[in-house]
Chains A and B, each alone.
Chain A
Amino acid sequence: MSNERRQGRILVQLFPSLIGLARRGLAGWAVLIGGVIVATVAIMTVVSPWISPYNPIAINVGPILSPPSSEFPLGTNHLGQDMLSRVYSGGSIMFQVALLSVIVCLVVGVPIGLFASYTGGYTDKVASLVMDSIYAFPGLVLAIAIAAMLGPGVVNMALSIAVVYVPSYFRIIRSQVLTIKELPYVEAAHMMGARARKTLFSYILPNVIPSIVAVATINFADAILTAAGLTFVGLGLPVSTPDWGWDLTYGRRLLPSGAWWAITFPGLMVVLLALGFTLMGEGLSELFNPRLQR
């Protein structure tokens, strides 16, 4: 089958499933609306170099602290930077940090959760204790400590966020595996002589994936908010990158001068993006796990 025809088929299959999603009530709508929001913001961020009227990091492209006008639709900040251009491109750091931290969480949290809960006994107890200790800790405070020691940078920010959220993955996987591993089909796999690794990855993991997807989506929202928080306490990236978090942090000092536009638009973008991911995550976990409403 040619590549184009294959793509065509995937599109045809995807479309009814989107309609199907909307038919599954509020949860389906939440996923759909959340997905549209996230996709829109993502596309906006990707194409920002072509749609931005000005260079987002160039200073003095306009007057300092100009209110929204026809030339600068979202106004300018204290450096004379165009807020519209900064709003277009400021999400890229957020996406990078969030994506990276979710990947780290998946790579670290999923195997630990699977192995510990499947093996049980002492391994499970120790892993649970460690994970619960981290889970109980105020997430942002821990992330601040780690980020302060690692220094600024996208990777370091993502790592410090990931440490905080690995326990969420561990806990959801553990609770699922503990139930699944007692099911008759897993026993049947054992009887047929399947090795532990085969059972774990080929038979148990596929049943856990929906929950992992739901957690990862909510994790995206958390990671975005935490990344903005880290920037706010001064652990963000250098000025040379357009970033909503940076605008929110420095815009605070402009408030007494009445420059509401300097924080409102970047702030709304963070809210919109976090809301999109939250809606998706909430909807997904309700679709996958109707009884387990958090």
Chain B
Amino acid sequence: MSLRSYVIARLLLTIPMIMLLLTFVFLVVRVLPGDPASLHFEKQVNPQMLLEFKRQLGLDKPIEIQYVEYLVGLLRGDFGKSMQDFSPVSQQIFSAFPATLELAIFSTIIMVLVGVVLGVQASRSYNSVQDHSVRIFGIGSYAIPVFFLGEVMIMIFAIYLHLFPAGDRIYPGMVPTGLTLGGLHWSTGLYTIDSILEGNPSKFAMSLRYLFLPSLTLGTVLCGIFIRLTRGNMLETLQLDFVTAARARGLKERTVVYGYALRNAFLPILTMMGLQFAALLAGAVLTETTFSWPGLGRYLVDRISFRDYTAIQGVVVFFGILVAIVSLAVDIIYAYLDPRIRF
């Protein structure tokens, strides 16, 4: 199968998956509770107002019409209206998304870095105390609720040591403006990148400091699987002839391990990054809530307390589509890098 036909086949497979997911979320939010609008008011509203409320949101129509409108709306990038103030949910989603993306990127870096380095170290000292402690750390990290770790981090680094700030993305009033060319403004919403575009190193340093604790928390909780993956892979690879050959040529051990052997683990690590993306987003919801990080996860949790079911539906759908797209992208990159996968 050529790469092109693989990509097309993979794309076609993604469509029913997204459709199923959208239908599932629709069923959960619109059909399961009977009537999300009455649930929003906890049945303490006069029928006339309730009807008007439902009309505003399009919840008064027959369920099958609602379903079609929901799908057509999503095609146009419309994630529905908020029950709170009838504002479009998509606006909120797109303004909160960069914060989540930035947190996800930095958490991924920490997760992979910590996982790979510990995994390599464990495999180099197989069955030693170091190896066992790394493995226990791997299993232990899996058992920690991410918000508990976050709270402990805040307690130690923010409250007692005052080393890193916790809460929000940057000091109020310091939001980087991004690139300004003449009268044109362009910003990504990622504060680290915006501050570079603005040419303001102190804002860059500050946004990194604010990113540190949340990313470290999320990265630590998710790094276990990378420890295991790297360790297992390296244990096999270090036995192979080409490693012995590299050592025989007198290369430094560091070069042999990181420059030669670790390359073999690159593809599995890439695949695992794709698989872990969903876990990363789920973890981000709790991390953002812990650190008052103004991203999608915190928006979702906020909406829960307002019983804003249409907004909840919008965010959940957005998460689902995001995961589907990322797993599609990872599969395509994988197929491009490793022709064997296309069969």
Q: Enumerate chain A interface residues (CB-CB to B < 8 A).
A: 129-130, 132-134, 136-142, 144-146, 148-150, 221, 225, 228-229, 232-235, 248, 251-252, 255-256, 258, 260, 263-264, 267, 270-271, 274-275, 278-279, 282, 293-294
Contacts and interface: CB of A to CB of B under 8 A. Distances in A.
Contact of B16 (A129, A137, A275): A129
B286 interface: yes
Nearest to A140: B282
B286 A221 contact: no
B17 interface: yes
Given A138-B319, A141-B285, A263-B148, A235 B304 contact: yes
Given A136-B21, A137-B323, A232-B145, 14 more contacts: A133-B20, A137-B21, A137-B320, A139-B279, A141-B285, A144-B285, A145-B25, A145-B28, A145-B316, A148-B307, A234-B305, A264-B152, A274-B142, A279-B139
Interface in B1-54: 16-17, 20-21, 24-25, 28-29, 32-33, 36, 39
Given A145-B25, A232-B286, A260-B155, A271 B278 contact: no
A151 to B, nearest CB: 8
Given A142-B316, A255-B155, A137 B278 contact: yes
B301 interface: yes
Contacts of A275: 139-140, 143
19 contacts: A129-B16, A129-B20, A136-B21, A136-B323, A140-B283, A145-B29, A149-B29, A149-B32, A225-B145, A228-B148, A232-B145, A232-B147, A233-B289, A234-B301, A234-B304, A256-B159, A275-B140, A278-B139, A293-B228
| B25, B139, B309 pick with most chain A CB within 10 angstroms | B139
B281 A141 contact: yes
B187 interface: no
A75 to B, nearest CB: 14
B154 interface: yes
Interface string B118-155: 00000000000000000000011011111110011011
B142 A278 contact: yes
B284 to A, nearest CB: 9
Contact of A232 (B278, B282, B289, B307): B289
B24 A134 contact: yes
B177 interface: no
B300 interface: yes
B232 interface: yes
B144 A138 contact: no
A228 B145 CA distance: 8
Contacts of B261: none
Contacts of B282: 138-141
A233 B323 contact: no
A263 B39 CA distance: 33
